[in-house]
């Protein structure tokens, strides 16, 4: 709640630099809320904490949306620049993903709200998917523009089946899932080429390496949602999520001394994603190993969200957010 109060205090002369990346805050908080809900459902976790974090996430979404809409009205040219920026354009899909994640969370408590959030989120994400691909085709992008944030608008389609199961036909959900899985493979090859054969990411983009965890983790959850089958492909997806989680922690030295950027929020949702996938794996296998791993990943996710939120508040108080970069 303290963080939300800080957001609401943004002075109008800094509004023009209010970044679209702020919606990653909602993704992080909502992801953690879903982790708590799944723990309450499958293992043991107090429901009061689940509700508190869920409603904080919803409030954060509307507060951030309010300021971004205000920016659209007041500083149209700045928004146009973001919408045509080779890197920032990818973060617009964080709006639709936030809606889909909120839909997933409220599915267990307020079904009508969940349905509304799903339809708005799915339609918006459909638009952002095709706009982004068209943007890539029509503009001369360079290798240094590629980073794991490219997964957000295209691979983010794999979240739609999780939120939409029961709301729309499975045929529609498979459409979204197919796009996400196919472009995960394509974009991963491009980004791996960038990582290995070209210059290292700028420090502000190093946290986006955590995004590598999300596609296989969410892909696993969505696949189970669609097929209800823990088969060979499902095991591959979960194992890859686990592999990338271990990989980014093995590379911990890459993140230790990074100056704070809003991109730090890229640490949060991927950790929530692998936590949710692990809880689901325990639910399907009843293997105590996954129960222990679920609590471990939940604890790491909670610590990461707390630390990043704390740094966000500190830098807001110092007026080091919403400034020209």
Say how far apart CA 180 and CA 306 lie, in whole Å: 30
Give the model's pLDDT for residue 1.
47
pLDDT higher than threshold 80 for residue 325? no
Which ranges in the chain belong to alpha helices (H)? 2-7, 23-42, 47-74, 76-83, 93-106, 111-138, 151-154, 160-164, 170-197, 214-227, 232-250, 268-285, 288-317
**Quick one: tokens of 251?**
């590379």
pLDDT higher than threshold 90 for residue 48? no
Give the model's pLDDT for residue 260.
78
pLDDT higher than threshold 60 for residue 198? yes
Say how far apart CA 133 and CA 135 lie, in whole Å: 5
Give the model's pLDDT for residue 324.
60
pLDDT higher than threshold 70 for residue 323? no
* pLDDT tens-digit series, residues 122-160: 999 999 999 999 999 998 888 877 888 899 999 999 999
Say how far apart CA 305 and CA 176 lie, in whole Å: 29
CB-count burial class (<10 Å; 0-12, 13-18, 19+) for 203: middle
Q: What is the DSSP string of 188-222?
A: HHHHHHHHHHSPPPPGGGGGGGGGGGHHHHHHHHH
What average pLDDT score do residues 259-282 get? 91
**Domains, the chain, with CATH or none:** 2-317 (1.50.10.150)
pLDDT higher than threshold 50 for residue 276? yes
Instruction: Count CA within 13 A, CB hemisphere, residue 248.
Output: 22
* pLDDT tens-digit series, residues 11-32: 556 788 888 999 999 999 999 9
Highest mean pLDDT among 69-83, 184-198, 269-283: 269-283
Q: Is 72 helix (H, G, I), strand (E, B) or coil?
A: helix
pLDDT higher than threshold 50 for residue 5? no
Residue 299: partners with Cβ closer than 8 Å, 6 or more residues away: none
Separation in Å, CA 137 to CA 130, 156, 321: 11, 19, 32
pLDDT higher than threshold 90 for residue 59? yes
Per the prediction, the chain carries an average pLDDT of 90
């Amino acid at each position: 709640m303290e963080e939300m109060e800080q957001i609401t205090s943004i002075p109008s002369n800094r509004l023009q630099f209010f970044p679209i990346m702020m919606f990653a805050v909602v993704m992080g908080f909502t992801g953690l809320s879903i982790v708590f809900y799944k723990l309450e459902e499958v293992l043991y976790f107090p429901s009061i904490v689940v509700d508190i974090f869920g409603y904080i996430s919803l409030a954060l979404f509307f507060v951030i949306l309010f300021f971004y809409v205000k920016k659209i009205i007041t500083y149209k040219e700045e928004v146009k620049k973001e919408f045509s920026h080779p890197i920032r354009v990818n973060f617009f899909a964080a709006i639709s993903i936030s809606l889909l994640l909120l839909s997933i969370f409220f599915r267990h408590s307020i079904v009508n709200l969940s349905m509304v959030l799903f339809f708005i989120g799915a339609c918006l994400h459909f638009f952002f998917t095709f706009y982004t691909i068209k943007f890539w085709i029509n503009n001369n992008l360079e290798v240094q523009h590629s980073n794991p944030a490219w997964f957000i608008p295209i691979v983010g389609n794999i979240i739609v089946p999780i939120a939409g199961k029961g709301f729309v036909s499975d045929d529609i959900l498979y459409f979204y899932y197919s796009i996400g899985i196919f472009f995960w493979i394509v974009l991963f090859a491009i980004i791996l080429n960038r990582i290995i054969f070209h210059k290292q990411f700028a420090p502000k983009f190093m946290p986006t390496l955590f995004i590598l965890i999300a596609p296989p983790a969410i892909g696993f959850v969505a696949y189970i949602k669609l097929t209800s089958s823990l088969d060979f492909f499902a095991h591959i997806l979960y194992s890859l999520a686990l592999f990338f989680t271990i990989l980014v922690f093995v590379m911990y030295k890459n993140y230790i001394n990074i100056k704070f950027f809003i991109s730090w929020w890229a640490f949060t949702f991927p950790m929530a994603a692998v936590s949710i996938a692990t809880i689901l794996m325990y639910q399907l296998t009843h293997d105590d190993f996954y129960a222990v791993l679920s609590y471990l990943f939940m604890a790491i996710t909670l610590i990461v969200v707390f630390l990043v939120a704390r740094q966000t508040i500190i830098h807001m108080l110092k007026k080091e957010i919403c400034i020209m970069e």
